[in-house]
């Protein structure tokens, strides 16, 4: 016990002897304004977003220990600090037309901490890229893709990747989806399978102020919210001349139909209801037939291609419905069945045609044929998930209603 007491006593004495020495780490940070400068400091102008943000320690008596730069949206600016603590430089572009708060921590030759906080803004972009999401907000079928239309063409792969990463689509329940570049100004977004029934889907852009490349910056974009209803699918079999309509996988109606005759065969593949028109005028001249071939007002018409394929009432062909294909490309049925179909489907619902001798439905140029592309090929059209695509729209020869 005596030995222990003798050992403890010097330790206590040593502690008491140091009590009066100042600890530089415990001192309140001093104002380091005179020791720090940053790019654009003191010139009264807004910072150039095309140039990196640089922070420099003045003189030999101080060094930088930490730098934090954050914009009003809460986005941090990444950067690198030199080993000697004399210089910090941002490694990502600043946003255009944004407000930033810069916080710099320093220490002097004695280890005392300093601090400088500066608010600054960046100049506005001279060239903006605006994004418009589609379709309009509302309730749709599970086959409705999300679209993004750009105000300017973008072909550079790295610029496309910047844009794609900033365009966000979320759904409840959550499903995996990918953007596909249709061409230099249009992107489509879809999951691997159809959207879930009764889902809520939102699309928004984080592109505002972000440098895309070549002096181009992201502009404003209005967010989009839509929902899906029941999963409604209409399977049109040109071989059996029957349409089977399913709701959430359960057949709810089988309808005798007629589809395109030879030479006007209905396109095979998955289509999406684009529009509903209670009455539409259809003429033979619109598809290259003689002016007097036919001129009809057609009722209860659900459009499925831009080129003019509809599902509609065809009272003139009821004798062939369920037995033969006699139309000029549309799917015809009785007036009662057409009215039921018209009132049952919504935009974005699925109409799939099988066993026709017609061409395959194009993926993009003739409506929403997105679901006809295999998932692996769809991903290749992403600038982030597997490559780029600059598809040129095709299959747009017939652009008028066909009966």
Catalytic residue numbers read 312, 330
* DSSP E strand boundaries for 151-274: 167-172, 177-181, 186-191, 200-205, 211-213, 216-218, 224-228, 232-237, 242-247, 250-256, 269-272
The token duo for 243 is 């349409």
How far out from the chain centre does Cα 342 lie?
Answer: 30
Place of tokens 């550079």: 156
Strand partners, 339: none
Q: Which of 116, 119, 125, 120 is nearest to 45 (CA)?
A: 120
Q: Kindly report the number of other CB atoms within 10 A of residue 373's CB atom.
A: 19
Calpha distance 263→16 (Å, rounded) = 104
Instruction: Report the alpha-carbon distance of residue 232 to residue 349 in Å, rounded.
Output: 6
Alpha carbons 156 and 10: distance in angstroms, whole number: 73
DSSP 399: -
> Cβ distance 184 to 155 under 8 Å?
yes
Q: For residue 357, how many C-alpha atoms fall within 13 Å in the half-sphere facing its CB?
A: 8
- The helix (H) or strand (E) run that includes residue 336 is helix 335-344
Q: Which residue, 289, 282, 334, is CA-closest to 308? A: 282
Please check whether residue 51 is in contact with residue 63, taking contact to mean a CB–CB distance below 8 angstroms: no
Nearest Cα neighbor of 402 from 318, 331, 329, 353 is 329
**Whether the Cβ atoms of residue 311 and residue 235 lie closer than 8 Å to each other:** no
Q: What is the C-alpha to C-alpha distance for residues 121 and 94, in angstroms, rounded to an integer?
A: 10
């Amino acid at each position: 016990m005596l030995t222990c007491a003798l050992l403890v006593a010097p330790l206590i004495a040593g502690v008491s002897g140091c009590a009066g020495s100042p600890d530089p780490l415990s001192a309140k940070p001093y104002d380091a304004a005179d020791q720090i400068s940053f790019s654009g400091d003191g010139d009264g102008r807004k910072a150039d977003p095309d140039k990196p943000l640089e922070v420099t320690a003045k003189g030999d008596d101080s060094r930088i220990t930490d730098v934090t730069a954050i914009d009003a949206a809460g986005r941090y600016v990444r950067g690198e600090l030199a080993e000697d603590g004399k210089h910090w430089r941002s490694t990502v572009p600043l946003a255009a037309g944004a407000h930033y708060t810069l916080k710099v921590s320093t220490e002097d030759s004695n280890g005392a901490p300093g601090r400088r906080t500066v608010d600054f803004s960046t100049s506005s972009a001279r060239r903006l890229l605006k994004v418009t999401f589609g379709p309009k907000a509302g309730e749709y079928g599970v086959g409705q893709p999300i679209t993004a239309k750009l105000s300017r063409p973008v072909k550079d792969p790295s610029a496309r990747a910047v844009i794609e990463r900033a365009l966000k689509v979320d759904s409840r329940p959550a499903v995996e989806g990918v953007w596909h570049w249709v061409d230099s100004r249009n992107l489509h977004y879809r999951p691997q399978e159809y959207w879930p029934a009764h889902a809520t889907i939102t699309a928004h852009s984080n592109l505002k102020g972000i440098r895309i490349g070549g002096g181009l910056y992201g502009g404003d974009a209005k967010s989009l919210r839509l929902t899906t209803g029941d999963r409604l699918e209409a399977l049109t079999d040109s071989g059996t001349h029957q349409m089977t309509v399913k709701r959430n996988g359960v057949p709810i109606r089988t309808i005798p139909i007629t589809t395109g005759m030879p030479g006007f065969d209905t396109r095979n593949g998955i289509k999406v209801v684009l529009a509903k028109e209670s009455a539409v005028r259809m003429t033979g001249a619109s598809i290259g037939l003689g002016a007097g071939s036919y001129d009809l007002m057609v009722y209860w018409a659900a459009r499925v291609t831009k080129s003019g394929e509809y599902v509609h009432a065809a009272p003139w062909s009821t004798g062939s419905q369920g037995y033969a294909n006699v139309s000029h490309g549309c799917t015809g049925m009785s007036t009662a069945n057409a009215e039921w179909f018209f009132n049952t489907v919504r935009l974005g619902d699925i109409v799939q045609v099988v066993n026709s001798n017609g061409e395959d439905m194009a993926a993009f140029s003739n409506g929403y044929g997105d679901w006809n592309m295999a998932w692996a090929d769809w991903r290749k059209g992403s600038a982030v998930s597997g490559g780029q695509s600059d598809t040129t729209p095709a299959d747009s020869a017939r652009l008028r209603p066909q009966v």
